[in-house]
Amino acid sequence: MSTLSLTRRTFLAGSTLTGLAAVTGRGLLVPPAWGAAVAKVGEAAPAFSANTTTGKGVSLADQRGTIVVLEWTNHDCPYVRKHYESGNMQALQKEITAQGVVWLTLISSSPGTQGYVTPKQADELTSTRKANPTAVLLDPTGAVGRAYGATNTPHMYVIDKAGLLVYAGAIDDRPTTRRSDVQGAHNYVRAALDDISAGRPVQTPVTRAYGCTVKYA
Amino acid sequence: MSLRGTFVVLACVFLILGGAAASSETPRVRVELLSEVAAFTPGQTFWVALRQQIAPGWHTYWMNPGDSGEPPRIEWALPSGFTAGEIAWPYPDRIPQGPAMTYGYSREVVLPLPVTPPSALDPGARVTLRGRASWLVCEKTCIPEEAPIALTLSVAARAPAPDPRGAPLIAAARRNVPTPSPWPSSFVATSEDITLTVEAPHLTADRLTDVWFYPARWGAIDLIAPQRVRVDPAGIRLDVARGPLRDAVGAPIEGVLVVAERLDGDVARHAFSLTAPPRPAGAHGDPTVASLLRAVALALAGGLVLNLMPCVLPVLSVKALGLVQHSSRPARLRAHGLAYAAGVLASFAIVAGALIALRGAGAQVGWGFQLQSPAFVTLLAWLFFAVALGFSGVIVVGGRFAGTGQTLATRSGYGGSFAAGALATVAATPCTAPFMGAAVGFAVIQPWPIALVVFEALGLGLALPYLVLTFVPAWSRLLPKPGPWMTRLQQLLAFPLYASTAWLVWVMSQQAGPPGVGAALAGLVLIACASWVHRALGGVRALWRHAATWTVAALLPLSIVGIVALGPLAAGPGSPAPEVAADGRLGWEPFNLERLAALRASGKPVFVNFTAAWCVTCLVNERVALRSPAVADVFARKGVVALKADWTNRDPVISRVLGSLGRSGVPLYVLYPPGAGIGSAPTVLPQILTEGAVIDALDKI
């Protein structure tokens, strides 16, 4: 975790009205750039390390040379349930990990909020839902989630073998909670991985993630 | 009854209840379908609305829900021939959730949408509009909900019948639907930020309490980032970090600008929909070094061109002729050049300073603002006339008319060169040279040091030809040898000055009418007279001669007094006739107390619109209510005279009237009933007008 340097974004309620005499050197006006700390597609994916449900530390740096998929989840979120209850997420995990891709499921719900789970509960969820991630990482402080600017569950990221973030956004193009919408949806994660294996740039590198908000502390 | 049978009965009961009641409840959101009419006319579009009453702490979403969430949807199952349009979304609230920003509604929202029935329907028939509404409702957690919606209406024989419950709710909701922005907008993108510019002139920062831009789509701007807003005389500029969709800045950004304006003890929010096309960086917006350099270069070029203007050229030519005398003494020549340049730059600094100060104080003035004053125009006309008389040889300073250049350049020394520079500036103000417009336009919206740099560049451009001439002796050697031709040329150059005088008197005629022109022309006669007196008394002792000349000249201020006194009078009674409402809209007459008193004495009802160009609420009211054809009809039917009191520039009379009605600002809408006594209380309408409110008030008289 020490590798992360996070500047918490300050939200200024309202707006600043200044008159004619306002300023020219706009650089001076720019607040501490949280933007610099948040993951950007096309740039190096922020380094992180977090514990798995077995207490083992996993760090992104260890995955260099492998494609990594990050999935933010919250098992009680209706949008997440759409993809798990339809079996869509598990199928994608199985298909993709079979190609040697590392799939990390992250839970950033803080204790006491919807979606927060103990390591034991997380393992139970994996087995009852027949999920197939490489590992489930617990991020109760939200540090990893904030570093990636994860706002939704599900929120998907794809990191290439060189450690570049090549996709961030939704799982597919049907922003609904209807299970029937899984059929015929265009899956952006699969498309990104297809682009990578075909050796071309990811065609749709950024989409609006849809889902429930991540329940940060 | 078996368990199965009980279920069937219960299900039937629910279905019947669901079909009969217009509203459906779920734990967090109660929805119902509303209509503005209880009976609709076949073929005529009317408004219905999905109303959501939301449990405290929970919210639903706008058309662009933001970083998370989902907008409500309606799946219609309408009777055949009926069509439903898109939801007209009222502007949302900002609901930040950790690192995500969402846009939505709390407590209650009414989402209006138009429905068009077929034209072939039997009057008196009953029609049920059915559909299924689905929405996401979130607090900390999110829950998708859905419910059937239905509403039964009847078909009207003739006019539609308003629904007493639905009509006001839908009307209120539609007031919060953005109106198209009356101002052009555009944006500039840098690698990190977007600057959105809305060219809304006249707005003053102290009236605006909050400005926020809600993009219609996710991706172009960072939704959670602060929006830094500046309001200056050019409009609103909003800086915000770019969003994650990098290529979104290649296309226009659509969205809704919500402006909260402080009224008398109240705040009004107005939403404007806008589509801002991208603009290359540096064209306006922030003063990048490149744009500043460009403005300075343009100003320099504009200043150079000013030398050729008919009002400036004669003055400078004669000044240049004076150089000829000095061409053998380079040091003095350079000193004169510097004095002249100093005169130009100093007077430009004064003009620019006044301009910047006035704009800082909120006045809408631009280059040549002095010319808005009839007194200044008159003084300028007299100055040109006096200089022209000098060129013609009528006025001879110092009693000698030999060596024309001397009179204007050498004899008066360095002070004279400085004065010539100032004169050149004064003479230049009426002229707007090519290139100057862009440079001055850039300068006036910049902070004052930058504005001053641009104006001084303009001055330097004006001074440059003369300065170069004095500093590069080789060039001054190109000037022809002194000789009698100089006198002829000078006399010839008097004519552009006479022409400038004539033009200024014409300008004056527009500003102050016949009395102003009379006073200005009287001044010209006095100047001619004074110069004749001065010459005619050539043999008399200098003291007496000067005394006589100045006595005549002293009459000049009387002319100015005449202009100032008569000017407003001239504009008063001859004021423009009421605007002719060519398109059937309301024609507004300018407000004045005498007119109001006369109308009321004659028993006519009068509506007074107290407004100002810088008042957003006034603008919106005029667009949504006062300009509507329905309102114009009622005005015509009731014979109400519409007066417009424009408070854009502070007006003591209007201020007093506002004060007498207990207000200190605009908007204010007052309806004086017909036939009432002069002292009876007029009706004051709400500050936020609707078509209905105006019509209701008018119908009561």
Q: How far apart (Å, rounded) are the C-alpha atoms in residues B148 and B154?
A: 20
Is A16–B229 a contact, with Cβ atoms under 8 angstroms apart?
yes
Given a cut of 90, whether residue B588 has pLDDT beyond it is: no
Given a cut of 70, whether residue B20 has pLDDT beyond it is: no
Compare A88 and B648 and report the one with higher pLDDT: A88
**Bridge pairing between strands B228-232 and A16-18:** parallel
Q: How far apart (Å, rounded) are the C-alpha atoms in residues A134 and A92?
A: 12
- Give the residue among B428, B449, B437, B421 at the shortest CA–CA distance from B370: B428
Q: Is A28 on the interface with B (CB under 8 A)?
A: no
Quote the radius of gyration of chain A (alpha carbons, Å).
18
Structure tokens at A173: 């193009």
Q: Residues B507-552: pLDDT tens digits?
A: 777 667 777 888 888 888 888 888 888 777 766 666 776 777 777 7
Is B142–A77 a contact, with Cβ atoms under 8 angstroms apart?
yes
* Mean pLDDT lowest among A73-77, B289-293, B693-697: B289-293
Amino acid in the structure at residue A125: L
Q: Residues B245-262: pLDDT tens digits?
A: 888 888 899 999 999 988
**How far is the alpha carbon of A184 from chain B, nearest alpha carbon, in Å?**
20
Quote the radius of gyration of chain B (alpha carbons, Å).
35
Beta strands in B92-141 (DSSP E): 93-97, 100-106, 108-116, 126-138
Cβ neighbors of B248 (< 8 A, separation 6 or more) are B217, B219, B220
Q: Residues B365-409: pLDDT tens digits?
A: 555 566 667 777 788 888 888 888 888 877 655 433 333 334 444
DSSP reduced 3-state for B593:
helix
pLDDT value, residue B233: 77
Distances (CA, A) of A210 to A79, A192, B641: 8, 17, 56
Cβ neighbors of B196 (< 8 A, separation 6 or more) are B185, B186, B187, B213, B237, B238, B240, B253, B276
B151, containing H or E segment: strand B142-155
pLDDT value, residue A139: 95
Residues of A in contact with B100 (CB under 8 A): 151-152, 213-214
Across residues B664-671, what is the average pLDDT? 85
DSSP of A80-123: HHHHHHTTHHHHHHHHHHTTT-EEEEEE-PPTTSTT---HHHHH
Distances (CA, A) of A144 to A3, A49, A103, A105, B69: 11, 8, 15, 12, 22
Q: How far apart (Å, rounded) are the C-alpha atoms in residues B308 and B34?
A: 70
CA-based nearest residue in chain A for residue B96: A11
Strand partners, B195: B188, B239
Q: Is A32 on the interface with B (CB under 8 A)?
A: no
B665 φ/ψ angles, rounded to the nearest 5 degrees: -160, 180
- Identify the residue whose tokens are 């709710």: B169
Considering CB atoms only, which of B138, B208, B244 is closest to A17?
A: B208
Q: Which strands, in side-by-side order, build the sheet including A68-72?
A: A57-59, A49-52, A135-138, A102-107, A68-72, A155-159, A165-169
Residues of B in contact with A215 (CB under 8 A): 140-141
Q: How far apart (Å, rounded) are the C-alpha atoms in residues B540 and B542?
A: 6
Considering CB atoms only, which of A17, A41, A168 is closest to B229?
A: A17
Across residues B406-428, what is the average pLDDT? 68
Structure tokens at A167: 């996709």
Q: How many CB atoms lie within 10 A of CB B647?
A: 22
Is A21–B448 a contact, with Cβ atoms under 8 angstroms apart?
yes
Size (chain B), residues: 701
Q: Find which of B230, B242, B286, B453 to mutate to test the A interface (most A CBs within 10 Å of its CB).
A: B230
Question: Which of A:154-183 have CB within 8 Å of B?
Answer: 168, 175-177
Q: How many CB atoms lie within 10 A of CB B234?
A: 21
**How far is the alpha carbon of B697 from chain A, nearest alpha carbon, in Å?**
36
Size (chain A), residues: 217
Q: Is A11 on the interface with B (CB under 8 A)?
A: yes
**Mean per-residue pLDDT of chain B:** 80
Q: Is A16 on the interface with B (CB under 8 A)?
A: yes
**Bridge pairing between strands B179-180 and B208-215:** unpaired
* Mean pLDDT lowest among A99-103, A137-141, B16-20, B194-198: B16-20
**How far is the alpha carbon of B229 from chain A, nearest alpha carbon, in Å?**
5
* Mean pLDDT lowest among B287-301, B424-438, B560-574, B632-646: B560-574
DSSP letter at A5? -
Across residues B673-699, what is the average pLDDT? 81
**How far is the alpha carbon of B314 from chain A, nearest alpha carbon, in Å?**
38
Q: How far apart (Å, rounded) are the C-alpha atoms in residues B243 and B227?
A: 13
Q: Is A31 on the interface with B (CB under 8 A)?
A: yes
Question: Which of B:204-223 have CB within 8 Å of A?
Answer: 205, 208-212, 218-219, 222
Band of the pLDDT at B152, cuts 50, 70, 90?
Answer: very high
- Give the residue among B441, B446, B437, B439 at the shortest CA–CA distance from B230: B446
Residues of A in contact with B102 (CB under 8 A): 213
- Give the residue among B423, B392, B396 at the shortest CA–CA distance from B407: B396
* Cα dihedral value B187, B190, B191, B195, nearest 10: -50
Given a cut of 90, whether residue B307 has pLDDT beyond it is: no
Across residues B187-214, what is the average pLDDT? 88
Is B144–A40 a contact, with Cβ atoms under 8 angstroms apart?
no
Q: Is B363 on the interface with A (CB under 8 A)?
A: no
Residue B430, burial from CB neighbour count under 10 angstroms (0-12, 13-18, 19+) = buried
Considering CB atoms only, which of B68, B140, B219 is closest to A114?
A: B140
**Bridge pairing between strands A68-72 and B37-40:** unpaired
Residue B520 and residue B407 in contact, taking contact as beta carbons nearer than 8 Å: no
Q: Residues B329-351: pLDDT tens digits?
A: 777 778 888 888 898 899 888 88
Distances (CA, A) of A128 to A16, A75, A84, A87: 51, 12, 11, 12
Q: How far is CA A198 from the centre of its chain?
A: 24
Mean pLDDT in order along chain A per 10 residues (217 residues) = 36 32 30 51 92 92 93 95 96 96 96 93 95 95 94 95 94 92 95 95 94 91
Compare B698 and B570 and report the one with higher pLDDT: B698
Kindly list the structural domains of chain B, giving each domain's residue range(s) and its CATH number in brackets, ordered by start: 22-173 (2.60.40.1250), 180-276 (2.60.40), 289-570 (no CATH), 589-699 (3.40.30.10)
Say whether the peptide bond before residue B667 is cis (omega within 30 degrees of 0).
Answer: yes
Is A24–B287 a contact, with Cβ atoms under 8 angstroms apart?
yes
Is B226–A21 a contact, with Cβ atoms under 8 angstroms apart?
no
Q: Is A76 on the interface with B (CB under 8 A)?
A: yes
- Give the residue among B575, B577, B563 at the shortest CA–CA distance from B514: B563
* Mean pLDDT lowest among B31-45, B77-91, B116-130, B565-579: B565-579
pLDDT value, residue B16: 40
pLDDT value, residue B176: 93
Kindly list the structural domains of chain A, giving each domain's residue range(s) and its CATH number in brackets, ordered by start: 26-213 (3.40.30.10)
Q: How far apart (Å, rounded) are the C-alpha atoms in residues B590 and B649?
A: 14
Residues of B in contact with A21 (CB under 8 A): 360, 447-448
Cβ neighbors of B281 (< 8 A, separation 6 or more) are B188, B189, B190, B288
Q: How far apart (Å, rounded) are the C-alpha atoms in residues A102 and B95?
A: 35
Considering CB atoms only, which of B192, B228, B244 is closest to A206?
A: B244
Is A15–B226 a contact, with Cβ atoms under 8 angstroms apart?
yes
Across residues B475-493, what is the average pLDDT? 75
Band of the pLDDT at B284, cuts 50, 70, 90?
Answer: very low
Q: How far apart (Å, rounded) are the C-alpha atoms in residues A115 and A96?
A: 25
Q: Is B241 on the interface with A (CB under 8 A)?
A: yes
Q: How far apart (Å, rounded) are the C-alpha atoms in residues B224 and B94?
A: 9
Is B68–A151 a contact, with Cβ atoms under 8 angstroms apart?
yes
Q: Is B614 on the interface with A (CB under 8 A)?
A: no
B282-300 in b/e burial notation, b at 16+ Cβ within 10 A?
A: bebbbbbeebbebbbebbb
pLDDT value, residue A195: 95
Residue B54 and residue B60 in contact, taking contact as beta carbons nearer than 8 Å: yes
pLDDT value, residue B275: 93
Cβ neighbors of B269 (< 8 A, separation 6 or more) are B91, B176, B210, B258, B259, B260, B261
Is A209–B232 a contact, with Cβ atoms under 8 angstroms apart?
no
pLDDT value, residue B23: 55
**How far is the alpha carbon of A188 from chain B, nearest alpha carbon, in Å?**
15
Q: How far apart (Å, rounded) are the C-alpha atoms in residues B438 and B449?
A: 18
Residues of A in contact with B191 (CB under 8 A): none
Distances (CA, A) of B391 to B319, B337, B537: 12, 22, 20
Is A19–B232 a contact, with Cβ atoms under 8 angstroms apart?
yes
B274 φ/ψ angles, rounded to the nearest 5 degrees: -145, 155
Residues of A in contact with B212 (CB under 8 A): 15
Rounded to the nearest 10 degrees, the angle between the axes of helix B448-471 and helix B289-306 is 50
DSSP of B509-541: HHHHHHHHHHHHHHHHHHHHHHHHHHHHTTTS-
Q: Is B560 on the interface with A (CB under 8 A)?
A: no
**Bridge pairing between strands A212-213 and A152-153:** antiparallel
